[in-house]
Amino acid sequence: MTEKNYNPNEMLICTASRLMTDDSTAFIGTGIPMLAASLAQKMHAPNLTTIFEFGGMGAILDDLPVAVGGRRSFHRALSALGILDVIEAAGRGLIEYGFIGGAQIDPYGNLNSTVIGDFYKPKVRLPGSGGGNDVGSHCWQTIAIMRHDKRRFIPKVDFITTPGYLTGPGSREAAGLPPNTGPYRVVTNLALLGFHPESKRMMLLATQPGVTVEEVLECTGFELLLADEVEENPPPSEEELKILREDVDKEKFYI
The CATH code that applies to domain 8-248 is 3.40.1080.10
Predicted pLDDT of residue 3: 59
Using the 8-state DSSP alphabet, how is residue 212 labeled?
A: -
Q: Which of 60-69, 129-138, 145-154, 179-188 has the lowest mean pLDDT?
A: 60-69
How many whole angstroms separate alpha carbon 252 and alpha carbon 115?
Answer: 32
Domain ranges of the chain: 8-248
Residue 152: partners with Cβ closer than 8 Å, 6 or more residues away:
102, 103, 104, 105, 146
CA Rg value for the chain? 18
Q: Give, to the nearest 10 degrees, the angle between helix 8-17 and helix 32-43.
A: 60
pTM: 0.93
Q: Exposed, middle or buried, 135 (CB in 10 Å: 0-12/13-18/19+)?
A: buried
Predicted pLDDT of residue 251: 83
Predicted pLDDT of residue 113: 94
The length of the chain in residues reads: 255
Model confidence pLDDT, tens digit, residues 111-133: 999 999 999 999 999 988 888 89
CB 116 within 8 A of CB 122: yes
Predicted pLDDT of residue 48: 93
Neighbours of 185 (CB within 10 A): 20
Which residues are the active-site residues? 53
Predicted pLDDT of residue 1: 36
Of the candidates 68, 114, 102, 119, the one whose C-alpha atom is nearest the C-alpha of residue 183 is 102
